[in-house]
Amino acid sequence: MYNGLGGQVGNSIQALENDYPQFDFLGLSHKELDLREADKIDQLFEKYKPSFFLQIAAYTAVDKAETDIDDCRLINAISTNIIAKACKKHQVKMVYVSSDYVYHSTVGSPIKETDANEPKGVYAITKLEGEIAIQNNLDNYYIFRTSWVYDSFGQNFVNTMVRLGNKLDHLKIVSDQIGTPTYAPDIAKSIMEVVQQNIEKSVKHYGVYNLSNQSTTNWASFAEEIFVREKIQCEITGISTEEFGAKAPRPKWSVLDCTKIKLTFGIELPTWNESLQTCLDNRSKE
Ligand SMILES: NC(=O)c1ccc[n+]([C@@H]2O[C@H](COP(=O)([O-])OP(=O)(O)OC[C@H]3O[C@@H](n4cnc5c(N)ncnc54)[C@H](OP(=O)(O)O)[C@@H]3O)[C@@H](O)[C@H]2O)c1
Protein backbone atom coordinates (compact mmCIF):
# COMPACT_ATOMS: atom_id res chain seq x y z
CA MET A 1 0.00 0.00 0.00
CA TYR A 2 1.29 3.48 -0.84
CA ASN A 3 0.07 7.07 -0.88
CA GLY A 4 1.06 10.07 -2.96
CA LEU A 5 -0.88 8.84 -6.00
CA GLY A 6 -1.09 11.90 -8.25
CA GLY A 7 2.38 13.07 -7.19
CA GLN A 8 5.66 12.42 -9.02
CA VAL A 9 7.02 9.48 -7.02
CA GLY A 10 3.58 8.00 -6.26
CA ASN A 11 2.68 7.97 -9.94
CA SER A 12 6.04 6.39 -10.74
CA ILE A 13 5.26 3.56 -8.30
CA GLN A 14 1.90 3.10 -9.99
CA ALA A 15 3.64 2.87 -13.37
CA LEU A 16 5.64 -0.11 -12.05
CA GLU A 17 2.67 -2.14 -10.81
CA ASN A 18 2.62 -4.42 -13.86
CA ASP A 19 6.32 -5.21 -13.40
CA TYR A 20 5.54 -6.84 -10.05
CA PRO A 21 2.58 -9.18 -10.69
CA GLN A 22 3.46 -11.09 -7.51
CA PHE A 23 2.45 -8.07 -5.36
CA ASP A 24 -0.98 -6.53 -4.78
CA PHE A 25 -0.67 -2.77 -4.99
CA LEU A 26 -3.09 -0.26 -3.50
CA GLY A 27 -2.28 3.35 -4.31
CA LEU A 28 -4.03 6.02 -2.26
CA SER A 29 -4.74 9.50 -3.56
CA HIS A 30 -4.98 12.58 -1.36
CA LYS A 31 -8.78 12.18 -1.47
CA GLU A 32 -8.66 8.56 -0.36
CA LEU A 33 -6.38 9.28 2.60
CA ASP A 34 -5.95 12.88 3.67
CA LEU A 35 -2.90 12.94 5.91
CA ARG A 36 -4.68 15.54 8.04
CA GLU A 37 -6.88 12.61 9.12
CA ALA A 38 -4.13 10.01 9.23
CA ASP A 39 -5.84 7.93 11.93
CA LYS A 40 -8.03 6.53 9.12
CA ILE A 41 -4.98 4.41 8.24
CA ASP A 42 -5.99 2.00 10.99
CA GLN A 43 -9.18 0.97 9.15
CA LEU A 44 -7.26 0.66 5.89
CA PHE A 45 -4.66 -1.60 7.50
CA GLU A 46 -7.40 -3.74 9.05
CA LYS A 47 -9.18 -4.06 5.73
CA TYR A 48 -6.23 -4.63 3.37
CA LYS A 49 -3.57 -6.09 5.69
CA PRO A 50 -0.60 -4.75 3.72
CA SER A 51 2.93 -5.99 4.36
CA PHE A 52 4.41 -2.59 3.43
CA PHE A 53 3.18 0.98 3.63
CA LEU A 54 5.05 3.48 1.44
CA GLN A 55 4.62 6.97 2.87
CA ILE A 56 5.31 9.03 -0.25
CA ALA A 57 2.78 11.85 0.06
CA ALA A 58 3.96 15.02 1.72
CA TYR A 59 3.45 18.74 2.01
CA THR A 60 6.01 19.67 -0.66
CA ALA A 61 5.35 23.41 -1.17
CA VAL A 62 8.65 24.37 0.45
CA ASP A 63 8.20 28.17 0.37
CA LYS A 64 4.50 28.16 1.28
CA ALA A 65 5.36 26.03 4.30
CA GLU A 66 7.19 28.97 5.86
CA THR A 67 3.83 30.62 6.59
CA ASP A 68 1.71 27.47 6.70
CA ILE A 69 3.60 25.84 9.53
CA ASP A 70 0.80 23.94 11.28
CA ASP A 71 -0.53 22.31 8.11
CA CYS A 72 2.95 21.35 6.93
CA ARG A 73 3.78 19.80 10.33
CA LEU A 74 0.42 17.99 10.43
CA ILE A 75 0.98 16.46 6.98
CA ASN A 76 4.72 15.72 7.16
CA ALA A 77 5.35 14.88 10.79
CA ILE A 78 2.22 14.34 12.91
CA SER A 79 0.59 12.10 10.30
CA THR A 80 3.82 10.13 9.95
CA ASN A 81 3.86 9.53 13.69
CA ILE A 82 0.27 8.23 13.55
CA ILE A 83 1.06 6.02 10.56
CA ALA A 84 4.24 4.67 12.17
CA LYS A 85 2.24 3.72 15.29
CA ALA A 86 -0.35 1.98 13.11
CA CYS A 87 2.47 0.17 11.27
CA LYS A 88 3.74 -1.08 14.61
CA LYS A 89 0.29 -2.22 15.72
CA HIS A 90 -0.42 -4.07 12.46
CA GLN A 91 3.17 -5.24 11.86
CA VAL A 92 3.47 -3.32 8.62
CA LYS A 93 6.91 -2.39 7.33
CA MET A 94 7.24 1.28 6.49
CA VAL A 95 8.98 3.22 3.74
CA TYR A 96 9.31 7.00 4.05
CA VAL A 97 10.56 9.22 1.24
CA SER A 98 12.55 12.00 2.83
CA SER A 99 14.70 14.86 1.66
CA ASP A 100 18.28 16.02 1.23
CA TYR A 101 17.08 19.17 3.07
CA VAL A 102 17.34 17.32 6.41
CA TYR A 103 21.14 17.75 6.17
CA HIS A 104 21.61 21.37 5.07
CA SER A 105 25.30 20.65 4.97
CA THR A 106 28.04 23.11 4.19
CA VAL A 107 30.65 20.40 3.75
CA GLY A 108 32.23 20.17 0.32
CA SER A 109 32.24 16.38 0.10
CA PRO A 110 29.32 14.03 -0.59
CA ILE A 111 26.99 13.80 2.41
CA LYS A 112 26.75 10.46 4.20
CA GLU A 113 23.71 9.17 6.08
CA THR A 114 25.66 9.52 9.33
CA ASP A 115 26.43 13.23 8.80
CA ALA A 116 24.70 15.79 11.01
CA ASN A 117 21.10 16.85 10.44
CA GLU A 118 20.70 20.60 10.50
CA PRO A 119 17.43 21.21 8.64
CA LYS A 120 16.55 24.85 8.02
CA GLY A 121 13.04 25.94 7.16
CA VAL A 122 9.66 24.49 8.03
CA TYR A 123 9.50 21.85 5.29
CA ALA A 124 12.99 20.52 6.08
CA ILE A 125 12.38 20.45 9.83
CA THR A 126 9.04 18.65 9.46
CA LYS A 127 10.57 16.05 7.12
CA LEU A 128 13.18 15.27 9.79
CA GLU A 129 10.43 15.16 12.43
CA GLY A 130 8.67 12.58 10.25
CA GLU A 131 11.86 10.50 10.12
CA ILE A 132 12.31 10.71 13.88
CA ALA A 133 8.69 9.65 14.48
CA ILE A 134 9.34 6.52 12.42
CA GLN A 135 12.61 5.75 14.18
CA ASN A 136 10.96 6.20 17.59
CA ASN A 137 8.16 3.77 16.77
CA LEU A 138 9.57 1.17 14.43
CA ASP A 139 12.52 -1.07 13.71
CA ASN A 140 11.30 -2.26 10.32
CA TYR A 141 11.54 0.85 8.18
CA TYR A 142 13.40 2.30 5.23
CA ILE A 143 13.93 6.05 4.97
CA PHE A 144 15.14 7.21 1.55
CA ARG A 145 16.58 10.72 1.42
CA THR A 146 16.41 12.03 -2.11
CA SER A 147 16.97 15.35 -3.89
CA TRP A 148 15.69 17.69 -6.64
CA VAL A 149 12.92 15.35 -7.81
CA TYR A 150 11.38 15.69 -11.28
CA ASP A 151 9.46 13.60 -13.76
CA SER A 152 8.08 14.08 -17.24
CA PHE A 153 4.65 15.44 -16.33
CA GLY A 154 4.64 17.10 -12.87
CA GLN A 155 5.03 20.71 -11.87
CA ASN A 156 8.77 20.60 -11.57
CA PHE A 157 11.95 22.35 -12.67
CA VAL A 158 12.28 20.50 -15.98
CA ASN A 159 8.76 21.21 -17.16
CA THR A 160 8.91 24.80 -15.90
CA MET A 161 12.17 25.40 -17.79
CA VAL A 162 10.79 23.95 -21.03
CA ARG A 163 7.70 26.14 -20.71
CA LEU A 164 9.55 29.36 -19.77
CA GLY A 165 12.45 28.74 -22.15
CA ASN A 166 10.06 28.49 -25.08
CA LYS A 167 8.39 31.76 -24.05
CA LEU A 168 11.26 34.01 -22.92
CA ASP A 169 14.66 35.05 -24.35
CA HIS A 170 16.42 35.30 -21.03
CA LEU A 171 16.15 33.72 -17.58
CA LYS A 172 17.95 34.31 -14.27
CA ILE A 173 18.55 31.03 -12.48
CA VAL A 174 20.26 30.17 -9.21
CA SER A 175 23.78 28.89 -9.80
CA ASP A 176 25.23 28.58 -6.30
CA GLN A 177 23.28 25.53 -5.09
CA ILE A 178 25.05 22.29 -5.92
CA GLY A 179 23.13 19.05 -5.96
CA THR A 180 21.77 16.20 -8.02
CA PRO A 181 18.47 16.21 -9.91
CA THR A 182 16.75 12.85 -9.39
CA TYR A 183 14.24 11.30 -11.76
CA ALA A 184 11.12 10.11 -9.91
CA PRO A 185 10.87 6.78 -11.82
CA ASP A 186 14.45 5.99 -10.69
CA ILE A 187 13.37 6.52 -7.07
CA ALA A 188 10.30 4.33 -7.57
CA LYS A 189 12.36 1.51 -9.11
CA SER A 190 14.80 1.63 -6.22
CA ILE A 191 12.03 1.52 -3.63
CA MET A 192 10.49 -1.49 -5.35
CA GLU A 193 13.87 -3.21 -5.61
CA VAL A 194 14.34 -2.85 -1.84
CA VAL A 195 10.78 -4.03 -1.13
CA GLN A 196 11.30 -7.03 -3.39
CA GLN A 197 14.62 -7.96 -1.82
CA ASN A 198 13.00 -7.64 1.61
CA ILE A 199 10.02 -9.86 0.79
CA GLU A 200 11.53 -12.40 -1.57
CA LYS A 201 15.17 -12.65 -0.56
CA SER A 202 14.92 -11.79 3.11
CA VAL A 203 17.47 -9.01 2.60
CA LYS A 204 16.33 -6.61 5.33
CA HIS A 205 19.00 -4.06 6.35
CA TYR A 206 16.44 -1.55 7.60
CA GLY A 207 17.54 2.03 8.08
CA VAL A 208 18.27 5.35 6.41
CA TYR A 209 19.57 5.54 2.83
CA ASN A 210 20.59 8.36 0.54
CA LEU A 211 19.09 7.89 -2.91
CA SER A 212 19.82 10.21 -5.81
CA ASN A 213 20.99 10.05 -9.39
CA GLN A 214 24.75 10.35 -9.84
CA SER A 215 27.00 13.31 -10.61
CA THR A 216 26.34 16.93 -9.68
CA THR A 217 25.19 20.21 -11.17
CA ASN A 218 23.58 23.50 -10.17
CA TRP A 219 20.15 24.80 -11.19
CA ALA A 220 21.48 27.13 -13.90
CA SER A 221 23.61 24.40 -15.50
CA PHE A 222 20.72 21.96 -15.23
CA ALA A 223 18.53 24.45 -17.12
CA GLU A 224 21.26 24.93 -19.74
CA GLU A 225 21.38 21.17 -20.30
CA ILE A 226 17.59 21.06 -20.71
CA PHE A 227 17.74 23.90 -23.26
CA VAL A 228 20.56 22.26 -25.25
CA ARG A 229 18.74 18.93 -25.42
CA GLU A 230 15.39 20.53 -26.28
CA LYS A 231 17.01 22.99 -28.74
CA ILE A 232 15.55 25.94 -26.84
CA GLN A 233 17.10 29.37 -27.51
CA CYS A 234 17.05 31.13 -24.15
CA GLU A 235 19.96 32.86 -22.48
CA ILE A 236 20.67 32.05 -18.84
CA THR A 237 22.27 34.30 -16.26
CA GLY A 238 23.38 32.61 -13.06
CA ILE A 239 22.32 34.38 -9.87
CA SER A 240 22.88 33.72 -6.17
CA THR A 241 20.42 32.12 -3.78
CA GLU A 242 20.22 35.48 -1.99
CA GLU A 243 19.43 37.36 -5.21
CA PHE A 244 16.66 34.89 -6.06
CA GLY A 245 15.25 35.44 -2.57
CA ALA A 246 13.02 32.37 -2.06
CA LYS A 247 11.14 32.37 1.22
CA ALA A 248 12.54 29.09 2.53
CA PRO A 249 16.25 28.45 3.02
CA ARG A 250 17.87 26.09 0.51
CA PRO A 251 21.07 24.12 1.13
CA LYS A 252 23.96 25.25 -1.06
CA TRP A 253 25.48 21.78 -0.95
CA SER A 254 23.21 18.78 -1.39
CA VAL A 255 25.41 16.12 -2.91
CA LEU A 256 24.41 12.76 -1.47
CA ASP A 257 26.86 9.90 -1.02
CA CYS A 258 24.85 6.88 -2.20
CA THR A 259 27.47 4.23 -1.42
CA LYS A 260 25.37 2.65 1.35
CA ILE A 261 22.43 1.71 -0.88
CA LYS A 262 24.83 0.47 -3.57
CA LEU A 263 26.72 -1.81 -1.20
CA THR A 264 23.60 -3.01 0.62
CA PHE A 265 21.09 -3.54 -2.19
CA GLY A 266 23.22 -3.20 -5.34
CA ILE A 267 21.28 -0.08 -6.33
CA GLU A 268 23.16 2.48 -8.38
CA LEU A 269 21.12 5.07 -10.26
CA PRO A 270 22.11 6.52 -13.65
CA THR A 271 23.77 9.93 -13.84
CA TRP A 272 21.38 12.86 -13.79
CA ASN A 273 22.25 13.58 -17.46
CA GLU A 274 21.18 10.09 -18.54
CA SER A 275 17.94 10.25 -16.59
CA LEU A 276 17.22 13.76 -17.87
CA GLN A 277 17.33 12.36 -21.41
CA THR A 278 14.99 9.52 -20.42
CA CYS A 279 12.61 12.08 -18.95
CA LEU A 280 12.71 14.29 -22.07
CA ASP A 281 12.15 11.25 -24.31
CA ASN A 282 9.15 10.22 -22.23
CA ARG A 283 7.90 13.79 -22.16
CA SER A 284 7.87 13.99 -25.95
CA LYS A 285 5.80 10.77 -26.10
CA GLU A 286 3.05 12.28 -23.92
N1 LIG B 1 10.00 17.18 -5.06
C2 LIG B 1 11.25 17.21 -4.60
O3 LIG B 1 12.13 17.91 -5.11
C4 LIG B 1 11.64 16.33 -3.42
C5 LIG B 1 12.96 16.33 -2.99
C6 LIG B 1 13.32 15.51 -1.93
C7 LIG B 1 12.36 14.72 -1.31
N8 LIG B 1 11.06 14.78 -1.74
C9 LIG B 1 10.08 13.94 -1.05
O10 LIG B 1 9.67 12.95 -1.98
C11 LIG B 1 8.31 12.59 -1.73
C12 LIG B 1 7.55 12.61 -3.04
O13 LIG B 1 7.69 13.91 -3.60
P14 LIG B 1 7.01 14.28 -4.97
O15 LIG B 1 7.93 15.19 -5.69
O16 LIG B 1 6.47 13.05 -5.63
O17 LIG B 1 5.80 15.15 -4.42
P18 LIG B 1 4.60 15.81 -5.22
O19 LIG B 1 4.69 15.52 -6.67
O20 LIG B 1 4.53 17.24 -4.76
O21 LIG B 1 3.36 15.02 -4.65
C22 LIG B 1 2.98 15.12 -3.32
C23 LIG B 1 1.82 14.20 -3.12
O24 LIG B 1 1.39 14.34 -1.76
C25 LIG B 1 -0.01 14.50 -1.78
N26 LIG B 1 -0.49 15.23 -0.62
C27 LIG B 1 -0.25 16.52 -0.27
N28 LIG B 1 -0.91 16.82 0.85
C29 LIG B 1 -1.58 15.70 1.22
C30 LIG B 1 -2.45 15.38 2.27
N31 LIG B 1 -2.83 16.28 3.19
N32 LIG B 1 -2.95 14.13 2.34
C33 LIG B 1 -2.62 13.20 1.41
N34 LIG B 1 -1.83 13.45 0.38
C35 LIG B 1 -1.31 14.69 0.28
C36 LIG B 1 -0.30 15.25 -3.06
O37 LIG B 1 -1.65 15.14 -3.42
P38 LIG B 1 -2.39 16.41 -4.13
O39 LIG B 1 -1.49 16.83 -5.24
O40 LIG B 1 -3.69 15.86 -4.53
O41 LIG B 1 -2.48 17.45 -3.06
C42 LIG B 1 0.63 14.51 -4.01
O43 LIG B 1 0.05 13.32 -4.45
C44 LIG B 1 7.79 13.57 -0.69
O45 LIG B 1 7.76 12.91 0.55
C46 LIG B 1 8.82 14.68 -0.66
O47 LIG B 1 8.93 15.26 0.62
C48 LIG B 1 10.69 15.55 -2.80
Give the residue, out of 149, 250, 258, with the most ligand 1 atoms within 8 A of its beta carbon, to mutate for a pocket test: 149
Give the residue, out of 33, 39, 60, 146, with the most ligand 1 atoms within 8 A of its beta carbon, to mutate for a pocket test: 60
What pLDDT band is residue 245 in, cutting at 50, 70 and 90?
Answer: very high
Please give the pLDDT value at position 284. 80
Assign a CATH topology to domain 2-152+181-213+255-270.
Rossmann fold (3.40.50)
Q: Is the pLDDT of residue 216 over 90?
A: yes
**Axis crossing angle, helix 157-167 with helix 272-285, rounded to the nearest 10:** 70
Check if 68 has its Cβ closer than 6 Å to any atom of ligand 1. no
Percent of the chain with pLDDT over 70: 100
Section 122-139 average pLDDT: 98
Please give the pLDDT value at position 149. 98
Rounded to the nearest integer, the mean pLDDT of the chain is 97
What amino acid occupies position 223? Answer: A
Q: Residue 180 carries which DSSP code? A: -
Check if 6 has its Cβ closer than 6 Å to any atom of ligand 1. yes
Check if 60 has its Cβ closer than 6 Å to any atom of ligand 1. yes
Tell me how far the alpha carbon of residue 235 lies from the centroid of ligand 1, in angstroms.
31
Tell me how far the alpha carbon of residue 9 lies from the centroid of ligand 1, in angstroms.
8
Q: Residue 16 carries which DSSP code? A: T
Please state, as a whole number, how many other Cβ atoms lie within 10 Å of the Cβ of residue 111.
23
Please give the pLDDT value at position 154. 85
Q: CA distances (Å), 25 to each of 13, 15, 44, 196, in order? A: 9, 11, 13, 13
Q: Is the pLDDT of residue 172 over 90?
A: yes
Tell me how far the alpha carbon of residue 58 lies from the centroid of ligand 1, in angstroms.
4
In angstroms, the CA 194 to CA 198 distance is: 6
Section 49-62 average pLDDT: 98
Percent of the chain with pLDDT over 90: 96
Section 67-88 average pLDDT: 98
Check if 4 has its Cβ closer than 6 Å to any atom of ligand 1. yes
Please give the pLDDT value at position 9. 98
Section 145-160 average pLDDT: 95
Check if 2 has its Cβ closer than 6 Å to any atom of ligand 1. no
Please give the pLDDT value at position 106. 77
**Which residues fall within 8 angstroms of residue 167, CB to CB, at 6 or more apart?**
none
Catalytic residue among 2, 96, 103, 123: 123
- The DSSP secondary structure of 89-133, one letter per residue, reads HHT-EEEEEEEGGGT-B--SSPBPTTSPP---SHHHHHHHHHHHH
Tell me how far the alpha carbon of residue 8 lies from the centroid of ligand 1, in angstroms.
7
Nearest to 10, CA basis, from 22, 2, 18, 1 = 2
Give residue-wise pLDDT tens across range 187-215.
999 999 999 999 999 999 999 999 999 99
Please give the pLDDT value at position 161. 97
Tell me how far the alpha carbon of residue 55 lies from the centroid of ligand 1, in angstroms.
10
Q: Give catalytic status of residue 123 as yes or no.
A: yes
Check if 10 has its Cβ closer than 6 Å to any atom of ligand 1. yes
165-168, long-range: CB < 8 A, 24+ apart: 165/223, 165/226, 165/227, 165/230, 165/232, 165/234, 166/232, 166/234, 168/234
Tell me how far the alpha carbon of residue 96 lies from the centroid of ligand 1, in angstroms.
11
Give the residue, out of 3, 5, 30, with the most ligand 1 atoms within 8 A of its beta carbon, to mutate for a pocket test: 30
Q: Is the pLDDT of residue 47 over 80?
A: yes
The number of the ligand 1 atom at minimal distance from the alpha carbon of 71 is: 31
Q: Is the pLDDT of residue 286 over 80?
A: no
